[in-house]
């Protein structure tokens, strides 16, 4: 009789497919009609097998586990045979008894230890990231960057750029045959670099107190003086003649050293020039610069070697649509007359018996053989070459026919006398 009462008391704690503990176990239909309070057996045999396996691993009998959880042996048996599922309220205790989690009981398998560790680490990383971001936001709030700071950084970067240009010119530039077009350029670059460094430091708020120190100001002044003083040793001073074309399309650059040696440079970029030609004679004093066209510049000078007048013509283009070389005396073949009929000049190129150039002037007639003509580029010819008297230039309106044979109809030429005095060019057609 006593055993029956104990059995009935144990049945009150039994869970059948979600029945709460203490429920009457006399009717299975009643148990099945209350599923909302029970755990559905979604895992099938998987959950039961998992409970049985973990129980055996821990060395417990069904009776021992039932006593530990406060349920009947029958309840444990039903769990392991998938005839019932543990009550929701008993799942934590069951997990603790088996050494697993509630999720593992419901899944019917044990989650790998690595996944557990990853989950734990992931949570820790998230918390750590939140802390770092929060501190970064607080730090960013304390850092205040103004437009003066940005402008100061740009000034300092500009100073660094100027120093790099100066170093490159002294090392690689000279090997490439490049020099500054203007002699004053290295002085300006050194001074500008020091000034920009100082101005940039004064603009940046955190550097301003440093640049205001007397010692820093003194060092800056010393650097400025040193930068200017070193230029004559790094860049030997030469007499320079720099002139722009009337339409500013070309720059003529001539450097004359202390011995009178004159070198003509062509501009390369904004600051540099590359050596193009060396005058055949040394220069005595001044050089007369005369632009006969926007791309033709005549340089007339006297030489102490023979005390005569010489001329060099700098040319910057051509009159041929195709890339080819042609002779000015050949394409200018024919008779040319001044646009102003009142001028008593006449030019004949290649029309004489022996070819050459014939000129009629108020002073008389002159004849020059083809061998006496010295051509510059494809735009100008000077004659005679030994003692130049005239310069002939193809004007911008000249278009050389394909093959470089003749000038198309409508083109004009310029004839100019070679002299150190001022001379007026004559336009002829």
* pTM for this prediction: 0.61
CA 80 to chain centre: 72
* Side-chain half-sphere exposure of 345, counting CA atoms within 13 A: 17
Where does the pLDDT of residue 95 fall: very low under 50, low under 70, confident under 90, or very high at 90 and above?
Answer: confident
pLDDT tens digits, 107-117: 777 766 555 55
Residue 117: predicted pLDDT: 54
Residue 315: predicted pLDDT: 94
The verdict on domain 2-107 having CATH code 1.10.3720.10 is no
Average pLDDT, the chain: 81
Which residues on neighbouring strands pair with residue 265, listed in sequence order? 253, 275
Residue 25: predicted pLDDT: 40
Task: Give the pairing type, strands 178-180 and 413-417.
Answer: unpaired
32: pLDDT strictly greater than 50: no
* Side-chain half-sphere exposure of 391, counting CA atoms within 13 A: 27
Residue 181: predicted pLDDT: 92
Where does the pLDDT of residue 189 fall: very low under 50, low under 70, confident under 90, or very high at 90 and above?
Answer: very high
Residue 122: predicted pLDDT: 63
Mean pLDDT within 254-263: 92
What percentage of residues in the chain have a pLDDT greater than 90? 32
Mean pLDDT within 399-417: 84
Mean pLDDT within 154-170: 93
427: pLDDT strictly greater than 50: yes
pLDDT tens digits, 337-363: 987 765 788 898 988 777 789 898 888
Q: Which residue has the higher pLDDT, 237 or 369?
A: 369
Domain boundaries, the chain: 2-107, 147-234, 239-428
89: pLDDT strictly greater than 90: no
Q: Which residue has the higher pLDDT, 75 or 382?
A: 382
263: pLDDT strictly greater than 90: yes
CB burial readout 202-212, b (16+ within 10 A) else e: bbbeebeeebe
pLDDT tens digits, 272-313: 999 999 999 999 989 999 999 999 999 999 999 998 999 999
Mean pLDDT within 233-246: 89
């Amino acid at each position: 009789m006593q055993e029956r009462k104990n059995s009935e008391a144990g049945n009150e704690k039994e869970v059948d497919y979600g029945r709460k503990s203490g429920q009457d176990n006399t009717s299975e239909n009643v148990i099945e009609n209350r599923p909302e309070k029970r755990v559905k057996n979604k895992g099938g045999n998987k959950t039961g097998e998992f409970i049985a396996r973990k129980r055996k691993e821990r060395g417990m009998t069904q009776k021992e586990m039932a006593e530990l959880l406060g349920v009947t042996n029958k309840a444990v048996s039903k769990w392991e045979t998938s005839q019932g599922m543990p009550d929701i309220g008993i799942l934590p205790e069951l997990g603790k008894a088996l050494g697993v989690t509630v999720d593992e009981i419901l899944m019917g398998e044990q989650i790998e230890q690595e996944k557990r560790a990853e989950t734990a680490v992931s949570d820790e990383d998230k918390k750590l990231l939140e802390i770092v971001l929060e501190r970064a936001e607080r730090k960013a709030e304390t850092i205040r960057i103004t437009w003066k700071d940005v402008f100061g950084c740009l000034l300092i970067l500009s100073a660094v750029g100027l120093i790099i240009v100066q170093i490159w010119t002294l090392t690689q530039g000279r090997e490439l045959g490049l020099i500054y077009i203007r002699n004053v350029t290295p002085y300006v670059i050194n001074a500008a670099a020091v000034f920009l460094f100082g101005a940039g430091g004064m603009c940046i708020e955190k550097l301003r107190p440093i640049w205001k120190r007397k010692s820093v100001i003194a060092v800056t002044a010393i650097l400025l003086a040193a930068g200017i003083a070193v230029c004559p040793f790094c860049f030997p001073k030469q007499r320079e003649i720099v002139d722009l074309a009337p339409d500013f399309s070309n720059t003529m650059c001539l450097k004359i050293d202390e011995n009178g040696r004159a070198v003509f440079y062509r501009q390369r970029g904004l600051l540099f020039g590359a050596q193009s030609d060396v005058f055949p004679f040394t220069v005595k004093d001044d050089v007369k610069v005369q632009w006969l066209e926007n791309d033709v510049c005549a340089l007339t000078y006297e030489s102490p070697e023979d005390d005569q007048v010489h001329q060099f013509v700098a040319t910057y283009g051509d009159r041929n649509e195709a890339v080819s070389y042609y002779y000015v005396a050949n394409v200018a073949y024919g008779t040319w007359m001044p646009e102003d009929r009142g001028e008593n000049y006449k030019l004949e190129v290649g029309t004489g018996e022996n070819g050459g150039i014939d000129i009629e002037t108020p002073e008389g007639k002159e004849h020059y053989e083809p061998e006496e003509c010295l051509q510059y580029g494809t735009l100008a010819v000077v004659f005679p070459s030994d003692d130049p008297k005239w310069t002939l230039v193809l004007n911008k309106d000249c278009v050389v026919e394909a093959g470089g044979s003749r000038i198309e109809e409508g083109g004009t030429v310029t004839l100019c006398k070679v002299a150190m005095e001022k001379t007026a060019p004559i336009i002829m057609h």
